[in-house]
Amino acid sequence: MKKPETVKQNRTALIILLIGLVLACVLMCAPLYTFQTSAYTKKSSNTFVGDEKYAQALEEVEEVAQQYREQGFEAQINEAVTERTNSKGEKTSLITFTIDQTFRKTVWSFLGSDLPSGHVLRIMACCMVLAMLCTVFGSIGTMNTEYKFLPGRTRMLRSAAGLFLLADLILTPVFVLMNNYAFWRKTSLYYQDLITDGKEEWFAKMDDFLFGGRMGDNIEAALKNLNADHSALVWVLLFCFLLSIIAAVQFRNGTIKNTMLKRMLYAFVIVVCVITLYPYYVMLITAFRSNAETLDMYFLHMLPTEWIWSNLKDIVSRGVPRYLLNSVMIAGGATVLAMLCGIPAAYAMARMNFKGKKVFLGFVIMSQMFSPVVLLIGISQLMNMLHLNDTILGLIFVNAAFNQAFAVWLLRGTFVSISPEMEQAAKIDGCTTVGSLLRVLLPMAAPGIVTTLIFVFINAWNEYTISTVLISTASNRPITVGITQFSSFNMIEWQYLFAASLLATIPVVILFLAIEKHLTAGLTSGGVKG
Amino acid sequence: MNTVKGKRKWEPYIWLLPSVLLISVFVVFPIIIVFRLSFSEISKAGVVGGFNGFQNYIDAVNLPAFKTVMQNTLWWVLSVVGLSTLLGFIIALVFNQKFAGRKIARSILIFPWATSLVIQASVWNYIIKFEYGNLNNVLLNLGIIKEAINWRSSYQIEFVWECACGIFVTVPFVTFCVLSGLQSIDEALYESATVDGAGFWRKLFSITLPLVKPSLSVSTVLNIIYVFNSFPIVYTMTKGAPANKTDTMITYLYMLSFYDRKKGPAIALSVIGFVILCVCAGVYMLAVMRKEEEQ
């Protein structure tokens, strides 16, 4: 059965798609970029407007402009007046003459050019032609048909059109960014002699593109004040692609609103992921840079020019393995201790009834509230009393104690969710309470226990503040404190700092990913469900 | 539940003993020490003298930076907790939808949670450097900006960056709390609401929010406490400079006691912070206890 409504929708979408494509074609022929340069600058001596010296300077400039005009440029003379007072107290002016040229470049000039953005544009044009062909062939004789009655090949053609358009959509901003890079960044880097490779060729290329190769030796001066602006049409073009894609996808997925929402959802997810990963990208690339490159004032490269693996070797010789080992000992010890104390307590809370249960619960929750930072001074005093100051053992105790609440909380949630029948059966078979706990409950609660373990381990691993205060001997430092040796007050060795950070982060992230599935469940059973 | 027989009444307490002992010695005892010290005279070298009344508290309140620091702390907690709760909630709503690659996206979101705060703060510290920072590098090389921008031109802006970094590391926790709440909501509720003609906003306010409220409130209270106690971000990025203008209470009391050798006021500040936390903890506990009774 054909539903007239969907047929109509189908037709509308097709028309929108075609309109979008045609509009995009038209836009691509319109001038996309405006360039402005001053090819020649002359400053007059101190004078008054209309004065003899002024006329003389103007004449000189006219002459130069005439030369340019003979070469076929539309040279325009602009004057800028700066007023000043000379030593005798008379007001005079300084007049600056510039020969300016403004010209617009359309897509055709980019298509024929040898610039990187030209290559991008060529791909875009190919995609667009293909998309148009797909749409046209796909719509022959099918304008009035509902999607599911379309012949298989037609569906494929339309999907292909959508994909080609998607490529165009992504490439449009790439095109703009590449142009920005070429006309501002790369050229200015050549000017400052920060990069030298291929300078001549680059300027020749720019000359070819902008001036048809007529500028010759003057190209350096002409590019110095180059101003390149893309017109707003580029963004209209982007919108056309977007519109066409939506229309193309709509063939497949029903209403336009749903399709739009889905696109927006993906866009949102991608933005969130990119922002989240950005610091890790920075950490990774900086860890493998040379010291000079981490402090590069000229922002030359986005990736290390050379991946320096010896940074890893250097941090090994600066004590990082020792710090990692300390961290493993501290976090591991704290985890074991927290579990040894926490499992019995959680068991009692989950399986027994006794007076003061509520009090203990309150006690536990309260202790969860106090991060050690507020109690720093008290803790360091306590450590002095116990002679645990500056020892790994002291850190193990503190970390275990401050994660105790969390461990009891999570474990109790796990134990409560397991029915006590099996243990009772074991007890009837002559098992002691301890036996039933060890042989029956713990194996059954393994996922919850592993989650708790990893949580406590990560908390202890990432702990920083207490360790900075308690540990003063270098060889007892955990990694979080250890990395700060690379950032002393007057010199920060970013590459070592981040190489060590990378080593400290990777294992923890892997551990966290391992319990990702139980993470939400753990949160629910522990903190949330009470 | 086992009913405990008369002669084994003491048994549960033995099970609890290790845990109680650990918490008492390493959490409760320092609290007592801090309280006792806050009423004692302490010399610059840290020698404890006799009873001092409220002198330490008066000194603390009269510190020149006290007002700024308290204001900063308030802004720090409000902005970080508020914005990350809002952002985390929105992200959780989106990440709860079914879409290809959801698993990967969720895994990525865990990264900031799993990373140590010092490391996270160091990276952001590098990113926003004016002279060689990575943000300028990326933006310049992509051609988005023409000249390097000074991202930390004043201390107010630096403080905003610190808050942004705080939000960045807090959002995943909120998101996962809310996700755990969202997953327990029955799909059928939404379906019947759709049948009844409820729109997106209507469903959000009448179904999602009330049912996620418990997870949201727990995460909010925990975040207030974590964010209040957060030390590495401010310490790594500005160390409170210039002149304690970007300090929060925690970094300030650390600086006071370990750099400026003003142990007395520092301890008084600790106690003030402790009391503030107690209030938050009390509210949290009441909420949890009430839930416990409901079950």
Task: Give the residue from B98, B104, B109, B118 with the most A CB atoms within 10 Å of its CB, the best one to mutate.
Answer: B118
Query: Mean of the per-residue pLDDT values for chain A?
Result: 82
pLDDT band of A272, cuts 50, 70, 90: very high
pLDDT of B124 reads: 94
pLDDT in tens, A47-78: 666 677 777 778 888 888 887 777 767 777 77
* Cα–Cα distance list, A277 to A281, B81, B111, B292 (Å): 6, 22, 8, 39
pLDDT of A252 reads: 56
* Shortest alpha-carbon distance between residue B235 and chain A (Å): 10
pLDDT of B4 reads: 46
pLDDT of A143 reads: 66
pLDDT of A445 reads: 85
Q: Residue A277: list chain B partners with CB under 8 A.
A: 108, 111
Closest-CA residue of A relative to B121 is A279
pLDDT band of A527, cuts 50, 70, 90: very low
Burial of A290 (0-12, 13-18, 19+ CB in 10 A): middle
Alpha helix positions (H), A30-104: 52-70
Q: Do A295 and B132 touch (CB under 8 A)?
A: yes
The Cα–Cα gap between B27 and A368 comes to: 10
We report the CATH number of the domain holding residue B168 as 1.10.3720.10
* Shortest alpha-carbon distance between residue A171 and chain B (Å): 14
User: Looking at the complex, does the CB of residue A515 fall below 8 Å from at least one CB of chain B?
Assistant: no
Size of chain B, expressed as the number of residues it contains: 295
Q: Residue B131: list chain A partners with CB under 8 A.
A: 295, 297
pLDDT in tens, A234-271: 888 888 888 887 777 665 555 556 666 777 888 899 99
Closest-CA residue of A relative to B90 is A268
Closest-CA residue of B relative to A186 is B141
Q: Do A505 and B115 touch (CB under 8 A)?
A: yes
Structure tokens that stand for A452 in this block: 């708790």
The Cα–Cα gap between B271 and B249 comes to: 11
User: Looking at the complex, does the CB of residue A384 fall below 8 Å from at least one CB of chain B?
Assistant: no
Q: Residue B40: list chain A partners with CB under 8 A.
A: none
CB nearest A273 (choices: B105, B113, B288): B105
The Cα–Cα gap between A267 and A263 comes to: 6
* Shortest alpha-carbon distance between residue A81 and chain B (Å): 27
Q: Do B4 and A273 touch (CB under 8 A)?
A: no
Closest-CA residue of B relative to A370 is B277
Q: Is residue B197 part of a domain?
A: yes
Q: Is residue B107 part of a domain?
A: yes
Closest-CA residue of A relative to B93 is A265
Q: Is residue B250 part of a domain?
A: yes
Residue with tokens 């975040």: B223
Pairing of strands A227-230, A31-43: antiparallel
Mean pLDDT of A456-481: 90
pLDDT of residue A530 exceeding 70, the answer is no
In chain B, which residues have pLDDT < 70? 1-8, 44-46, 288-289, 291-295
pLDDT in tens, B191-210: 888 888 887 888 888 888 88
Q: Is residue B21 part of a domain?
A: no
Q: Do A401 and B22 touch (CB under 8 A)?
A: yes
Mean pLDDT of A18-26: 83
The Cα–Cα gap between A447 and A5 comes to: 53
Order the strands of the A31-43 sheet from edge to edge.
A76-85, A91-106, A31-43, A227-230
The Cα–Cα gap between B114 and B119 comes to: 11
Q: Residue B177: list chain A partners with CB under 8 A.
A: 523, 527-528
User: Looking at the complex, does the CB of residue A255 fall below 8 Å from at least one CB of chain B?
Assistant: no
pLDDT of B73 reads: 93
A·B CB contacts under 8 A = 298
Between A517 and A379, residue with greater pLDDT: A379
pLDDT of residue A375 exceeding 70, the answer is yes
Q: Do B285 and A345 touch (CB under 8 A)?
A: no
Structure tokens that stand for A519 in this block: 């993470």
Coil, strand or helix at A136: helix
Q: Extract the runs of DSSP E, i.e. beta strands, from chain B.
A: 40-42, 48-51
* Shortest alpha-carbon distance between residue A406 and chain B (Å): 12
CB nearest B126 (choices: A265, A353, A494): A494
User: Looking at the complex, does the CB of residue A227 fall below 8 Å from at least one CB of chain B?
Assistant: no
User: Looking at the complex, does the CB of residue A277 fall below 8 Å from at least one CB of chain B?
Assistant: yes
Q: In chain A, which among 18-57 make CB contacts under 8 A with chain B?
A: none
The Cα–Cα gap between A343 and B18 comes to: 10
* Count of CB atoms situated within 10 Å of the CB of A222: 23
Q: In chain A, which among 294-333 make CB contacts under 8 A with chain B?
A: 294-297, 299, 301-302
Q: Residue B273: list chain A partners with CB under 8 A.
A: 374
> Cβ neighbours of residue A43 under 8 Å, at least 6 residues apart?
A94, A95, A96, A97
* Shortest alpha-carbon distance between residue A498 and chain B (Å): 8
pLDDT in tens, A164-181: 888 888 888 888 888 888
Q: Do B37 and A378 touch (CB under 8 A)?
A: yes
* Shortest alpha-carbon distance between residue A351 and chain B (Å): 5
Task: Give the residue from A368, A375, A432 with the most B CB atoms within 10 Å of its CB, the best one to mutate.
Answer: A375
* Cα–Cα distance list, A287 to A9, A304, A453 (Å): 54, 9, 30
CB nearest B285 (choices: A269, A362, A523): A362
For residues A435-474, one letter each, b for 16 or more C-beta atoms within 10 angstroms of the residue's C-beta and e for the rest, the string is ebbeebbeebbeebbebbbbbbbbbbbbbbbbbbbbbeee
Q: Residue B166: list chain A partners with CB under 8 A.
A: none
Structure tokens that stand for B17 in this block: 């003993």
pLDDT of residue A105 exceeding 60, the answer is yes
* Cα–Cα distance list, A238 to A168, A177, B155 (Å): 8, 14, 39
Could you tell me the domains of chain A?
1-254 (no CATH), 311-528 (1.10.3720.10)
The Cα–Cα gap between A413 and A451 comes to: 12
pLDDT of residue A529 exceeding 50, the answer is no
pLDDT of A259 reads: 64
Q: Residue B257: list chain A partners with CB under 8 A.
A: 376-377
pLDDT of A392 reads: 92
Residue type, B208: T
C-alpha A132: how far from chain center = 34
Mean pLDDT of A125-130: 88
Closest-CA residue of B relative to A262 is B99
User: Looking at the complex, does the CB of residue A402 fall below 8 Å from at least one CB of chain B?
Assistant: yes
- Helix, strand, coil share (%) of chain B residues, nearest 5: 75, 5, 25
* Nearest partner of A190 among A217, A220, A211, judged by Cα: A220
Coil, strand or helix at A96: strand
CB nearest A379 (choices: B30, B146, B285): B30
For residues A309-319, one letter each, b for 16 or more C-beta atoms within 10 angstroms of the residue's C-beta and e for the rest, the string is eebbeebeebb
For residues B46-80, one letter each, b for 16 or more C-beta atoms within 10 angstroms of the residue's C-beta and e for the rest, the string is eeeeeebeebbbebbeebebbebbbebbeebbebb
pLDDT of residue A1 exceeding 50, the answer is no
Closest-CA residue of B relative to A466 is B231
User: Cα-flanking dihedrals φ and ψ of residue B71, to 5°?
Assistant: -60, -45
User: Looking at the complex, does the CB of residue A425 fall below 8 Å from at least one CB of chain B?
Assistant: no
Between A98 and B88, residue with greater pLDDT: B88
pLDDT of A526 reads: 46
Q: Is residue B254 part of a domain?
A: yes
CB nearest A280 (choices: B28, B37, B111): B111
C-alpha A351: how far from chain center = 48
Q: Residue B214: list chain A partners with CB under 8 A.
A: 528
Q: Extract the runs of DSSP E, i.e. beta strands, from A49-191.
A: 76-85, 91-106
The Cα–Cα gap between A143 and B146 comes to: 49
Domain span at residue B141 reads 63-261
State the Rg of chain B over Cα: 24
User: Looking at the complex, does the CB of residue A175 fall below 8 Å from at least one CB of chain B?
Assistant: no
* Shortest alpha-carbon distance between residue A121 and chain B (Å): 17
Which residues, listed in sequence order, are joined to residue A103 by a DSSP beta bridge? A35
CB B87 within 8 A of CB A486: no
Mean pLDDT of A418-422: 83
Q: Is residue B46 part of a domain?
A: no
pLDDT of B294 reads: 64
The Cα–Cα gap between A185 and A19 comes to: 37
CB A151 within 8 A of CB A144: no
Structure tokens that stand for A133 in this block: 């062909």
DSSP of A250-308: HHHHS-HHHHHHHHHHHHHHHHHHHHHHHHHHHHHHHHTS-HHHHT-TT---SS-SS--
Q: Is residue B93 part of a domain?
A: yes
The Cα–Cα gap between A136 and A129 comes to: 11
CB nearest B110 (choices: A382, A483, A513): A513
Structure tokens that stand for A127 in this block: 């995609």
Residue type, B69: V
Q: Is residue B58 part of a domain?
A: no
Q: Residue B234: list chain A partners with CB under 8 A.
A: none
The Cα–Cα gap between B143 and A385 comes to: 60
The Cα–Cα gap between A179 and A173 comes to: 10
Q: Do B21 and A341 touch (CB under 8 A)?
A: yes
Structure tokens that stand for B248 in this block: 């929060």
The Cα–Cα gap between A14 and A251 comes to: 8
How many domains does chain B fold into? 1
pLDDT of residue A91 exceeding 80, the answer is no
The Cα–Cα gap between A488 and B169 comes to: 25
CB nearest A276 (choices: B109, B119, B218): B109
Q: Do B122 and A498 touch (CB under 8 A)?
A: yes
pLDDT of A75 reads: 75
* Shortest alpha-carbon distance between residue B12 and chain A (Å): 6
Preceding peptide of B12 cis, ω within 30°: no
Exposure on the CB side of residue A435, measured as CA atoms within 13 A = 9
Exposure on the CB side of residue A290, measured as CA atoms within 13 A = 6
pLDDT in tens, A490-510: 788 899 999 999 999 998 888
